[in-house]
Structure 1
């Protein structure tokens, strides 16, 4: 039986939809059957029964989807290693740390509302995204599936995963960490149990919020890039006079942070701290950040002897670029951080929290001091505005064409890596099409208020020339 997916669920970086409307168990079964068939074909005769690790987050719909996904995988002839309810990085760890595991699928709605769910995938040690996902859709529609009868086994990986993360502190004397006082907010997401196990083994004093997994997210929405969602953590840090605080998204692969003074440490600012630490032992290394990141980050990497590389937004795209360049560190404004120096190169917010502790200890400065040393730039939040799906990419093509052929006197440089990032004497502005929604994304950064206004006016001018306007900002 062939299977057709709803046109909205096959995204650039993952598969995602609304339970009962665009996504259900039949879709999960077809994903398993097709992914398994693709993996068997890629593995060939040398491995006729490859193994796929499967985990799921704390959403109400996740166990149902997991059951159907496993049915599909085993029907394709793959064996399944079930790791159960877990943060996404635990699934990545199960796949990366075992030679006898050839693929991985995590069922997660990430930071989307509770009625959403989806699938993040790893295929033979690399991200499965973009053209892979489109190919999966085509093969499912054709019913082009392998047949077989794979087996299942279960693995409790939590203890092993926590011990592996703790290796990130192995070179730091315990007495350097004993006075540490940190707040943590799991946001009722899937990282809660792993956070409890990790905090119990860390030196210092740790205060935990919302570690009970609850797919209704009763305390706040689990997206640490939205400042309002950090209010509980900020209050905890202030009330207990903690050194800093760390928050996670719903599946534990994105980090947010607050310093001891209550200031948000944004994704690019965290990367500045991590880069300063990593570049001490990896001199001249490439450090990758997405096109939304502050100019201050790229300058900071260069000042500490690294090679800054600006790349396309999207965790799968960044991971692929890391492998290509051999980069030990990469990150995004959205809080995905990737360590490949002494870790596996996947995005793991729990490990990133631990590495913030390590960086502070190795650099001999508190997280608040490190945040305070970062230059204060004036920048807009990420402005996201609705543009018809059929119009967003053509409009960006027009804007890119205009700016690269006739940029005008105020434009110093145009970077078309992902949309357009335009440098002027006032700073820079960015305009790009989202790969996951029918929106354009804009951002600008300057040293002065007047400069920021001029940059935003340039964005508006380019939009107007393509018959668009920067409407009211919409959410993720």
Structure 2
């Protein structure tokens, strides 16, 4: 580790800046900036038109600004630089909350999407997290807390990383930048104990907006206890609002921290993944030698997996694609649920005659796979596969999933479980709410009351294991698959992805599976002053009452979200979105005709709710 530490740690001293001279004329600032602002790359059709000269022009602008550092900090309103001081507008910080994350618009250029994550807003949020962390840790004055910061491949990443660093440093905390990183690695940095690489961090911030478009960004926060919850995020945003109010009252100026340290923590994280696979194979150096595995990182942060994990294990990775980080995501949305993304990795597997394909989302907390025949292992199939692996290791354990998992998955976990298991390895399926944090927290709760659970996983590809500190880690999920491949080969029980697909044999899958989104018009008079959430709950209550008197349908007796109903050989679930004025309707059935019958039952029950846009449902059920 000492040799590794020497490579991964370096001190970076950031230039000192003086506070803005308020008498420095605005017109003068504007005049000297204009020639350089014109040189910056324009936006066309919502996409950044980055030319071959753009990076040189940006360097010229930064050099020109740096020439004034020793005199005063000046203002170029649209420039992104270490010395730019943006204008301050009033901000509703609580609107930036997205469950247990923070999300906003970080790049201008998309019509109707004004920037909400400005540098001052970001700095205030980071300072709010620092204040929250100081209250939580309650350390004495002799020890400075340490916060690690990482980001995905988005084009706004560097700007926000600098603003986050300033916010953390302004509270007196030490800042450690990881640069391009994965969300799981950021959490792991709070657990690793090695002072040589400045670990553990007391808190960690990941700058990411998952699979959202290039102009968005956001933040995820961690301590050694895991990801922060909704109440914590609200607390941080309320603190940030107070800090931002001081900016408005007293003026905002960029003050760089005196010292920022940089660590290549991804080298540590990937080394741990490699060790996990070797251990599962009986400490063989190259347990995947001869396996051909292609990776699709979607130009996000997951490109490391091919060269830093698979190749050291002996795997062939030729044919891997979109490994280079590109925050414009030019090839496909980095999302294992996206049809175009899954088609891309499937085609790569078939074209390269690979044994397995692996795909990640932008920040690598979600993943999916494709077997050698092109069969996708995502959503219910991935849950079934992970359930089979975990139940082999922990027979009878409870598998916690989100609410939209299929009835066939329940049967698989509780009764059938592939071709290689016995009744002794059957488990229990605990279907809970949507939202990866909800699923993880429920698994933790079950363990606390004596019900053993080792896996919490969503259909979205978020999967967390008890053995991995309940972290939803897409790379670790794929390592569990690699462990199975490696151990099967080492024991002579099989070679290739058939080892995996055999585990999910017997999973009953519906012929029809659709999700329809019924939007609530918040301006419709039928709301009668109610919030969209209150209106949505009224819709669900009415649907539940209607179903109770219908002999063809059976309402789920145990259900934690929305209204779930079985009938006509299938089921439907109508629920209220976690964040948006939408009621998603999931329908699964053995035929299109049966799916339509289920849809008609919902349509009849909700037709009196005039603010509910049922056009998607109407289209689905029409003859």
Same fold per superposition (TM over 0.5)? yes
Secondary structure at the counterpart of residue 395 of structure 2 = coil
Q: Which residue of 2 aligns with 1:377?
A: 510
The verdict on how the C-alpha distance between 1:124 and 1:388 changes in structure 2, with shifts beyond 3 A counting, is farther
Worse-superposed segment, 325-334 or 460-469:
460-469
Q: Which residue of 2 aligns with 1:172?
A: 281
Query: Following superposition of structure 1 onto structure 2, how do residues 61-80 of structure 1 map, counting pairs within 5 Å?
Result: 61-80=156-175
The verdict on how the C-alpha distance between 1:361 and 1:128 changes in structure 2, with shifts beyond 3 A counting, is same
Secondary structure at the counterpart of residue 301 of structure 2 = coil
Q: How far is 1:298 from its partner?
A: 2.1
Worse-superposed segment, 26-35 or 408-417:
408-417
Whole-angstrom distance in 1 between the partners of 2:464 and 2:512: 24
Query: Following superposition of structure 1 onto structure 2, how do residues 128-147 of structure 1 map, counting pairs within 5 Å?
Result: 128-143=228-243
Q: Which residue of 1 aligns with 2:345?
A: 233
Question: Can you list the C-alpha shifts for 1:7-61, whole angstroms capped at 9, x where unaligned?
Answer: 6422213111112422211111011111110111111244763222211111110
Does 1:471 find its partner at 2:615?
A: yes
Whole-angstrom distance in 2 between the partners of 1:323 and 1:462: 37
Q: Which residue of 2 aligns with 1:302?
A: 414
Secondary structure at the counterpart of residue 423 of structure 1 = strand
Does 1:321 find its partner at 2:442?
A: yes
The verdict on how the C-alpha distance between 1:204 and 1:469 changes in structure 2, with shifts beyond 3 A counting, is same
The verdict on how the C-alpha distance between 1:167 and 1:422 changes in structure 2, with shifts beyond 3 A counting, is farther
Indicate conservation of the 8 Å contact 1:31/1:136, yes or no: yes
Secondary structure at the counterpart of residue 124 of structure 2 = helix
Q: Which residue of 1 aligns with 2:38?
A: none
Correspondent of 2:400 among 260, 269, 288:
288
Q: How far is 1:393 from its partner?
A: 1.9
Query: Following superposition of structure 1 onto structure 2, how do residues 47-196 of structure 1 map, counting pairs within 5 Å?
Result: 49-98=144-193, 100-143=200-243, 152-169=260-277, 170-173=279-282, 174=284, 177-196=288-307
Q: Which structure is larger by alpha-carbon Rg, 1 or 2?
A: 2
Query: Following superposition of structure 1 onto structure 2, how do residues 392-431 of structure 1 map, counting pairs within 5 Å?
Result: 392-406=532-546, 407-408=548-549, 409-414=551-556, 415-424=558-567, 426-431=569-574
Structure of greater relative contact order (alpha carbons < 8 Å, 6+ residues apart): 1
The gaps in structure 2 that reach 5 residues or longer are: 1-87, 109-114, 194-198, 247-256, 416-424, 448-452, 489-493, 523-529, 618-623
Indicate conservation of the 8 Å contact 1:87/1:251, yes or no: yes
Whole-angstrom distance in 2 between the partners of 1:150 and 1:433: 47
Whole-angstrom distance in 1 between the partners of 2:258 and 2:329: 35
Q: How far is 1:291 from its partner?
A: 0.3
Q: Which residue of 2 aligns with 1:16?
A: 103
Q: Which residue of 2 aligns with 1:37?
A: 131
Indicate conservation of the 8 Å contact 1:254/1:335, yes or no: yes
Secondary structure at the counterpart of residue 206 of structure 1 = coil
Q: How far is 1:194 from its partner?
A: 4.3
Worse-superposed segment, 174-183 or 119-128:
174-183
Whole-angstrom distance in 2 between the partners of 1:330 and 1:186: 23
Q: Which residue of 1 aligns with 2:605?
A: 462
Q: Which residue of 2 aligns with 1:272?
A: 384
Question: Can you list the C-alpha shifts for 1:197-241, whole angstroms capped at 9, x where unaligned?
Answer: 112212332232111111111222212201112222122111122
The verdict on how the C-alpha distance between 1:52 and 1:320 changes in structure 2, with shifts beyond 3 A counting, is farther
Q: How far is 1:404 from its partner?
A: 4.5
Indicate conservation of the 8 Å contact 2:588/2:595, yes or no: yes
The gaps in structure 1 that reach 5 residues or longer are: none
Does 1:25 find its partner at 2:168?
A: no
Indicate conservation of the 8 Å contact 2:149/2:205, yes or no: yes
Q: Which residue of 2 aligns with 1:344?
A: 469
The verdict on how the C-alpha distance between 1:206 and 1:38 changes in structure 2, with shifts beyond 3 A counting, is same
Whole-angstrom distance in 2 between the partners of 1:405 and 1:462: 9
Indicate conservation of the 8 Å contact 2:121/2:244, yes or no: no
**Aligned residues: CA RMSD:** 2.8
Secondary structure at the counterpart of residue 437 of structure 1 = coil
Whole-angstrom distance in 2 between the partners of 1:210 and 1:373: 34
Indicate conservation of the 8 Å contact 1:267/1:331, yes or no: no
Secondary structure at the counterpart of residue 154 of structure 2 = coil
Whole-angstrom distance in 1 between the partners of 2:290 and 2:372: 14
Correspondent of 2:584 among 429, 441, 446:
441
Whole-angstrom distance in 1 between the partners of 2:501 and 2:367: 17
Worse-superposed segment, 28-37 or 225-234:
225-234
Secondary structure at the counterpart of residue 118 of structure 1 = strand
Secondary structure at the counterpart of residue 116 of structure 2 = coil
TM-score (norm 2): 0.70
Q: How far is 1:70 from its partner?
A: 1.2
Q: Which residue of 1 aligns with 2:483?
A: 358
The verdict on how the C-alpha distance between 1:113 and 1:472 changes in structure 2, with shifts beyond 3 A counting, is farther
Q: How far is 1:465 from its partner?
A: 3.7
The verdict on how the C-alpha distance between 1:419 and 1:67 changes in structure 2, with shifts beyond 3 A counting, is same
Indicate conservation of the 8 Å contact 1:182/1:243, yes or no: yes
